[in-house]
Structure 1
Amino acid sequence: MISKNIVIPSSYHQKPISADYRFNNSDNQKKPLIIFVHGFKGFKDWGVFNLMADAFANKGFVFLKLNLSHNGTTLDSPTYHDDLEAFGNNNFSIELNDLKDVIDYCSNGSDETLSKAIDTNQIHLMGHSRGGGLVLLKAREDERISKVVTLAAISDLTQRWPQSFLDEWREKGVQHIPNSRTGQQMPLYVQLYDDVLNNMERLSIPDSVKQMKQPLLAFHGTEDETLPVNMAHDIKSWKPETELIIYEGANHVFGAAHPWEKDELPDLFKDIVEKSSEFLR
């Protein structure tokens, strides 16, 4: 197994994008690439994501996962939100631009080891939660993407907040979101809402799903406490040929947790790897 940590420069701002990739090079064949995007308050090494990356590598893929530049982690602290100012100044446009930089990096030969390993005609996107929404948006923008897989994806970025929340947000300029795991109060500056208002066309997941040309596989759980399962059914209604897999009783993280102390994936993640591998081939 070849595994490497990398730092990808941004074309749009000064903050770097940290990532890692891994693959099994025993056959010296070029392999499909999966680029994985974490969700809100997430990071690339959360919970089971390293085990998932190993599993996909053993299935014959190059698996790359990234920390979005403004997710609040730093190069020195990749698993903790040390930079809350960056977190508060994050927005969906920044994340989409980050994803473009990652795809460019993988496609243009910036990393010799990666360049020799991947088949650039098979670049796939996978995302969890908000990251699932991002990969749906990016697929419409980027014809280099072959297929898309979402895990408990958000279906709409523009209707997430009640009016009372928006009015208070505008008045104060910031809202704080508790992180139950760390106890942090994480700021969201009103520029996030302004980004949605100013980029409605680019940030419309319904329109993107209707227009995207790539095949789509979507996973969701019936007991998702964060993003209700009807979001998956909405996505299916916008793109009827979507392969939709609903897990009865599954929560937002499909039985995983952070930290994850076991040395193997939860059963649902094992199934996600199996079904995704079949789909992406």
Structure 2
Amino acid sequence: MILKNQILTRNKQKPIVFDLFFNKSSKSKPLVIFCHGYKGFKDWGAWDLVANTFKDHDLFFVKFNFSHNGGTVDQPIDFPDLDAFAENNYSKELKDVNDMLSFLCSKKNSYLNQIDTTNIILIGHSRGGGIATIKASEDNRVTKLITWASVSAFGQRTTTTGDLEQWKKDGVKYVLNGRTKQQMPHNYQFYLDFKANEDRLNIKKACKNIQIPHLIIHAKDDLTVTFKEAKALHNWSPNSQLIAITNSNHVFNTKHPWVKDTLPKSINSVIESSIAFILD
């Protein structure tokens, strides 16, 4: 069963658009929640094929758009709402994960009987890996954590792009999206929110607090988030294992759009290792 573009409405907050992939049966299944990365979205590239593979292994797989990722309910792909993108921050993304998790484990979810709420796995890619790590460290509902090509620190990514004083003066700075050619705005509130929550947003500290099993998967040749960040996560996280993927890149040799009906070897390795870790 595949349910696309479901909507989680929230009081005085932007809605969250999400997809469900599962085989409907009398058996409850481990819940897997996937968090996309920076300038990402739930329908990017091969994520549907990835989700379908988890479904085929009888897992309840959920992927969603962060509420301020720049997508909308009517257009969840790409970035029609740059005003929302400008107001995104790490705290909002953590709140989104929490609200998705709470909804999926509540009676408001029509498919609650399909989910084993004692077996919940967070997967995060790139920046989403950092968000998933922090959430896993502070929420005892999460029983396993998987990070794909995850960042190891938010601070350096928050303050090093552009001049901080100029950012404060202008109130906004822009990052080019190489694929869409959009100038993606970041309002200065992003920095203020990070500084106000800097202790909570410390991925190193979060890793050291994680008591659940943690699988770290990273491409050795990742040029976007280097492999040394994976090694750092592994050193900090006491119950972690690290798997290196060779001959691969930051998105494990996928791209957007993905028009093939098969997946490349590298991301298949990521999926196989992740599913084995979940079912172990």
TM-score, normalized by length of structure 1?
Answer: 0.95
Amino acid in structure 1 at the alignment position of 2:108? S
Question: Which range moves more in the overlay, 244-253 or 141-150?
Answer: 244-253
Residues 70/164 of structure 1: CA separation in 2 closer, same or farther (3 Å cut): closer
Asked whether the 8 Å contact 1:10–1:98 carries over to 2, the reply is: no
Are 2:200 and 1:202 equivalent residues in the alignment? yes
Q: 1:133 aligns with which of 118, 130, 133?
A: 130
Q: Which runs of 5+ in 2 are unaligned?
A: none
State the shift of 1:164 in Å: 5.4
1:201-249 deviation per Cα after TM superposition (whole angstroms, max 9, x unaligned): 1111100000011110011112212111111011011014311111123
Instruction: Please list, as runs of the form range in 1=range in 2, the aligned pairs for 1:217-256 lying within 5 A after superposition.
Output: 217-256=215-254
Matches within 5 A, 1:31-180: 31-112=29-110, 114-160=111-157, 161-162=159-160, 165-180=163-178
Residues 72 and 82 in structure 1, CA contact (< 8 A), matched pair in contact too: yes
Aligned to 2:14: 15
TM-score of the two chains, using structure 2 as the length reference = 0.96
Q: In 2, Cα distance between the equivalents of 1:163 and 1:6?
A: 35
Contact 2:217 2:242 in 1 (8 A): yes
Equivalence for 2:5:
5
Distance in 2 between residues matched to 1:4 and 1:45, nearest whole Å: 10
- In 2, Cα distance between equivalents of 1:15 and 1:276: 31
Q: Residue 195 of structure 2 aligns to a residue in which SS?
A: helix
Q: Does the C-alpha gap of structure 1 residues 164 and 53 become closer, same or farther in structure 2, counting only changes over 3 Å? A: closer
- Distance in structure 2 (CA, Å) of the matches to 1:163 and 1:104: 34
- Cα shift at 1:36: 0.3
How far does the alpha carbon of each residue in 1:44-72 deviate from its partner, in whole angstroms, 9 at most, with x for none?
00000000000000011000000000000
Which range is displaced more, 233-242 or 58-67?
233-242
Distance in 2 of aligned mates of 1:163 and 1:149: 28
Secondary structure of 1:108's aligned partner = coil
8 Å contact kept, 1:176–1:186: yes
Secondary structure of the 2:144 match is strand
Identity across aligned pairs (percent)? 41
Report the number of matched residues. 278
Shift in Å, 1:2: 4.3
CA contact (8 A) 1:227 1:252 kept: yes
